[in-house]
């Protein structure tokens, strides 16, 4: 049976480490790191994510503010709000909750955020630095994946990592991160997607498999080799009459099936998802160090 990669445990470790650092800052009388999260509209899932981020900030002693705009807010008003926080010295991280309403240009909004406060790691400057191997803010979910692998002492150098999915949020950045010639990376990376005629041809050759395709229980045991390390990024809702809610959350990997062959595996829930907010907080702390102390990111 596989060793479970416990995202709840590791995310708690990351947050506790940050909490100690922030407590030490408070004792000096200096300002603490600050994060503003901007929510446009009333999407229930987005509201839940935003509230979770605010709660996590409060738990570790970080300054937090949530700005809410109505669904029909004008793009120019959102841009003005972002600019006001670009020049606000009390807030070191700016996060605009995605997705945005269809009448707002998402790329324009992301590009309006000061790259020094781009704690989501989505600004083109951040993306460019990531690809070229320069220090920058990493997107939070890929960053969380690397943190899990590191803390479980799972070697990546020279290993074949197969990433299933090519999104700008997970697939592309995690592939680029693992390609870097540095500790915790230096892997041989294959990126797979829907154009592959036989996906299992690639997945069976993976030392480390990262599934991020948004298809419930898609990866099965016949698609992986013995001893594979499995990182499941998927969060899918499926009907379950036995659940009080009428549904349950599963990943892109058929956990019960694949666990029998894997050496390590992340559960869903309780795996990668919990790391995303933890690494957002870490990015905000790094932004604080840069802006307040002149340290490199």
Choosing from 6, 15, 97, 261, which is the catalytic residue? 97
245 is catalytic: no
53 is catalytic: yes
Choosing from 120, 207, 232, 252, which is the catalytic residue? 120
289 is catalytic: no
How many angstroms from the chain centroid is the CA of residue 125?
18
Choosing from 15, 53, 129, 282, which is the catalytic residue? 53
DSSP calls for the chain:
-PEE--HHHHHHHHHHHHHHHHHHHHHHTPPPPEEEEEEES--HHHHHHHHHHHHHHHHHT-EEEEEEE-TT--HHHHHHHHHHHHT-TT--EEEE-SSPPTTS-HHHHHHHS-GGG-TTS-SHHHHHHHHHT-S-PPPHHHHHHHHHHHHTT---TT-EEEEE---TTTHHHHHHHHHSSSTT---EEEEE-TT-S-THHHHTT-SEEEE-S--TT-B-GGGS-TT-EEEE---EEEE-TTSTTSEEEE-SB-HHHHTTT-SEE--SSSSHHHHHHHHHHHHHHHHHHHHHH----
Length of the chain: 297
Own/partner contacts of 135-138, CB < 8 Å, gap of 24 or more, are 135/296, 135/297, 136/297, 137/283, 137/286, 137/287, 137/297, 138/173, 138/177, 138/279, 138/283
Catalytic residues: 53, 97, 120
């Amino acid at each position: 049976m596989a060793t479970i990669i416990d995202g709840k445990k590791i995310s708690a470790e990351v947050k506790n480490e940050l909490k100690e650092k922030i407590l030490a800052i408070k004792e000096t009388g200096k300002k603490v790191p600050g994060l503003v999260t901007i929510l446009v509209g009333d999407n229930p899932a987005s509201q839940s994510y935003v509230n979770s981020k605010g709660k996590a900030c409060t738990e570790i002693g970080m300054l937090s503010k949530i700005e809410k705009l109505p669904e029909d807010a004008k793009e120019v008003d959102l841009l003005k709000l972002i600019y006001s926080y670009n020049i606000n010295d009390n807030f070191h991280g700016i996060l605009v909750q995605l997705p945005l309403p269809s009448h707002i240009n998402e790329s324009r909004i992301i590009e309006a955020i000061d790259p020094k406060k781009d704690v989501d790691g989505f600004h083109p400057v951040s993306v460019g630095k990531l690809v070229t191997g320069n220090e920058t803010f990493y997107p939070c979910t890929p960053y969380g994946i690397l943190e899990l692998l590191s803390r479980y002492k799972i070697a990546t150098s020279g290993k074949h990592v197969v990433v299933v999915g090519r999104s700008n949020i997970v697939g592309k950045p995690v592939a680029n991160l693992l390609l870097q010639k540095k500790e915790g990376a230096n892997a041989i990376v294959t990126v797979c997607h829907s154009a592959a005629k036989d996906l299992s041809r690639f997945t069976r050759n993976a030392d480390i498999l990262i599934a991020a395709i948004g298809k419930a229980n898609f990866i099965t045991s016949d698609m992986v080799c013995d001893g594979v390390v499995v990182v499941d990024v998927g969060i899918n809702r499926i009907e379950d009459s036995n659940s009080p809610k009428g549904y349950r959350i599963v990943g892109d990997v058929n956990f019960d099936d694949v666990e029998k062959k894997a050496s390590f595996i992340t559960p869903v829930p309780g795996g990668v998802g919990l790391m995303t907010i933890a690494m957002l907080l870490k990015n905000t702390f790094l932004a604080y160090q840069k802006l307040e102390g002149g340290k490199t990111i």
